[in-house]
Chain A
């Protein structure tokens, strides 16, 4: 059967050896799922052929970008073929005047922003993993990032897609112009976690880089003061471009590795960025400083130059990696709450952690109430793994109790399928399944994701084995990404 795949993409673009496959059984999550083979299509028609092959042979198929996903979305839960998009990494066209880009799914998020920066443009959604994650993966997860507070998440920036359905049919949905008539299929596909079709081309909006950016670091004695500040900013109608929070524990861990000059004796800090026309950014910065001070900020620093600014963001964006150095295992959660409940929620998360014997670290998108509590543990100690999972489940249940969600950006995947009933009734899920079946009738595309496989609810799936902090596996990620730099540069208009 594998010979069929090799005929489509060439022998060297198919992996079947045990030791090669092992690299692809992980993503950024604590889950695993080993594919029976991995293929690297080079273009759309190869993807079409692969889908036909999978359909003909009844073999499950799952798409994969960079494998940085944090919910096991790209893992081959039921085996089969993993379709890795790392070779389809060309920026196909940039329309500077209309602020649009057409890209292949394997383009790395940051590469697109870099490619258009000269023209004063950016691709706004900026997940912290943007140096490695792909736009195809972003589309599938509806990824967010620090600056999505102001600029919106992935779905707000995607206008058109070309998708290959599990039976090999290819469709263009949406388009370069706004308001394609008919149902908003693009809105449905973005965030569908690779369960409806394989995305082979993306038309995205580009956004003007702001005229002025101010990055502020507000230092607080307690987490309460920091969270109260976020509540006050929101209530005052101040929408910074980004508003990220780091608690004391995380500050110390991060600083010990990254050395960005963070105050290691602080209780919490807020990394706030305001941007826009010069006057607006200045006024917003002043309002932010005033609000921070009114809520007992010990110090509010403004980054003096681009270098300082970059150092602060580096600390933020590499925090998960830093945490990985201090604990053998780390489980990053992703929940959302109404922003008004931030102070109380963080306190209760701390209590939940304590009760299960953990110190919980917090580094998250505070401005939109998107929490990322981290549970660090050593699974070699008997029972700790189970306790970590139990604590995580309680935290997510708390988010739901407060009117929030089980995931703000990392997705459901195979991590939270069992938590879906906390938010959705059986009839809600039935309808969603019907929609999945409308596109993926055989269920061969990305099986075992999103929907609870068994009826037991409220528990996070305990994976068979797990891995440390949420960094992608090096070998798997880098093997084929970024080999096509010249083509990329050369195809821009």
Chain B
């Protein structure tokens, strides 16, 4: 430990205690991001300590990267300055859960799994079915902006995050929104935090609307020889009274990756080999309701699958639907494990244009000789994963080109594209944020308002913010 690191660790320890601080490279190494190890790690106990830490860091112009369990810390660019890893996992209290009002207020470091368990006791849930469910924190989930298969039926975090408390870059504690389901007092600053990758402030507490678990649930899978059939099926669903909670299309390669034997965080995922086909394009819907509603949906979906020329269909029972949802939820980690240099593009386009992204993904994969797997959500979000068999540096150029081409295809289709996950070596090669946006200047002004000293995850966000 050099002198400056020791001094920093001491200052942090004065705030959060020795036991929750380290400047020792053997301990800080695990907090490295894109090969950069921070000078110190600190695990504050509460918002007040976070504020104190940030005030100190602001005064000394130290770069701070917040993290929960670190499951999605690889998203985004490399930090221009990374001195302190601020870990939120000790902020894990539930401050208020009012099942009768369907609202929840919870600290940012609470684990998704624990929150899920708590809500489950009251047959409620939060529609954030996000990767690394076992370890992921709720703050990291919101700040990383990962999406969830359940957005088809329930929307994304911006639709049910009611308010938040946070600490801004100068160490000021502030909040916005509230805890009731309807509220228009003040600016919705909390919405800015969704997907902000820790660049505006450190979330300390989040308030959500919760949802009742449906009486029963089921699913439906239709298999198509061509992607066009799957796309047509999804289009028909959008024009029908069927209201699925989840709706995705899997390319054959994607079904291969998601459908195999899989272990995650030490747990075996429930096997799906017996029913998840791995040839052809699969379109899968999950839905809830009474038995009567489920039967109606199955019948309608069967009819529409037929009209779209499905090669086969399967009605999924409650257990199978849960298994399917687990696989869809954990798609990102499963893809990252499937290749030593997995590179995942997230494109969003109008639903009628997802075919263009499919084509671009396939074309670029073939052109650069890299296997591509595709997962599309009904709302128009398409994940294209390039999965090379090696992480040899020679493939990086092709990999970067392939990913960038898909991003461009999304933009050409009047949508958006960026590259949330790729090997460190690719962060500079590929345009991970796409070709820029006309409103980037406004975003810089927002950043300035929250973190004028530029100490929070500098350079990690959109357009180098």
Write the residues of chain A forming the contact surface with B, with a CB cutoff of 8 angstroms: 95, 97-100, 120, 141-142, 144, 148, 152-153, 155-156, 171-173, 175-185, 187-188, 190-192, 208, 210-211, 231, 234-235, 237, 239, 276-280, 283, 336-340, 365, 368-370, 403-412, 416, 420, 423-425, 427-432, 434-439, 450
Contact = CB atoms under 8 A, between A and B. Distances in A.
Nearest to B420: A181
Contacts of B124: 237
B189 interface: yes
Contacts of A405: 178, 180, 182-185
Interface in B437-465: 437-443, 445-450, 461-463
Given A405-B178, A405-B183, A438-B448, A183 B100 contact: no
21 contacts: A99-B238, A177-B414, A179-B381, A183-B192, A184-B195, A188-B446, A191-B184, A277-B296, A278-B241, A279-B290, A279-B293, A336-B181, A337-B180, A338-B180, A368-B181, A368-B182, A405-B183, A407-B184, A411-B184, A435-B187, A450-B186
Contacts of B449: 431, 434-435, 437-438
B147 A179 contact: yes
A234 B187 contact: no
Contact of A155 (B123, B188, B461): B188
Contacts of A175: 414-416
Contacts of A438: 445-446, 448-449
Nearest to A239: B212
Interface of B: 98-103, 123-124, 145, 147, 155-156, 158-159, 168, 172-176, 178-189, 191-192, 194-196, 200, 212-213, 235, 238-239, 241-243, 289-290, 292-293, 296-297, 346, 348-352, 379-381, 414-416, 418, 433-434, 437-443, 445-450, 461-463
B176 A432 contact: yes
A44 B442 CA distance: 19
A181 B445 CA distance: 16
A409 B189 contact: no
A428 B438 contact: no
B445 A439 contact: yes
Nearest to B235: A97
A283 B296 CA distance: 13
Nearest to A423: B185
Contacts of A339: 100-102, 181
A177 B380 CA distance: 7
B156 A178 contact: yes
Contacts of A208: 239, 241
B176 A277 contact: no
A192 B235 CA distance: 35
A148 to B, nearest CB: 8
Given A172-B439, A177-B350, A211-B241, A184 B194 contact: yes
A97 B434 CA distance: 27
**Could you say which of B145, B181, B192, B447 has the most chain A C-beta atoms within 10 Å of its C-beta?**
B181
A424 B293 contact: no
Contacts of A432: 176, 186-187, 189
A383 B242 CA distance: 58
A95 B414 CA distance: 14
Given A277-B243, A403-B179, A428-B175, A171 B438 contact: yes
**Could you say which of A99, A156, A177, A429 has the most chain B C-beta atoms within 10 Å of its C-beta?**
A177
Contacts of B443: 182-183, 185
Contact of B439 (A182, A340, A420, A428): A182
A276 B244 CA distance: 12
A183 B235 contact: no
A208 B241 CA distance: 8
A424 B195 CA distance: 24
Given A152-B155, A156-B159, A280 B446 contact: no
A96 to B, nearest CB: 9
Nearest to A428: B174
Nearest to A95: B350
Contacts of A187: 158, 188, 191-192, 194
A431 B182 contact: no
B383 to A, nearest CB: 12
A277 B213 CA distance: 18
Nearest to A424: B186
A431 B447 CA distance: 12
A283 B182 contact: no
Nearest to B165: A428
A408 B213 CA distance: 26
Given A148-B182, A183-B195, A428-B174, 11 more contacts: A100-B350, A177-B416, A179-B416, A187-B188, A187-B194, A188-B446, A234-B102, A283-B290, A423-B178, A431-B450, A435-B187
A407 B183 contact: yes
Contacts of A152: 155, 159
A396 B413 CA distance: 48
Contacts of A429: 186
Contacts of A450: 186
A370 B182 CA distance: 7
A173 B191 CA distance: 14
B200 to A, nearest CB: 7
Contacts of B212: 237, 239
A439 B448 CA distance: 11
Contact of B182 (A176, A190, A369, A436): A369
A211 B98 CA distance: 33
A433 B379 CA distance: 35
A166 to B, nearest CB: 13
A380 B249 CA distance: 67
Contacts of B101: 234, 338-340, 369
B414 A420 contact: no
Contacts of A409: 182, 184
Contacts of B433: 181
A25 B174 CA distance: 35
List 4 A-B pairs, minimum CB-CB distance, nearest first: A237-B212, A187-B191, A438-B445, A211-B241
B192 A177 contact: no
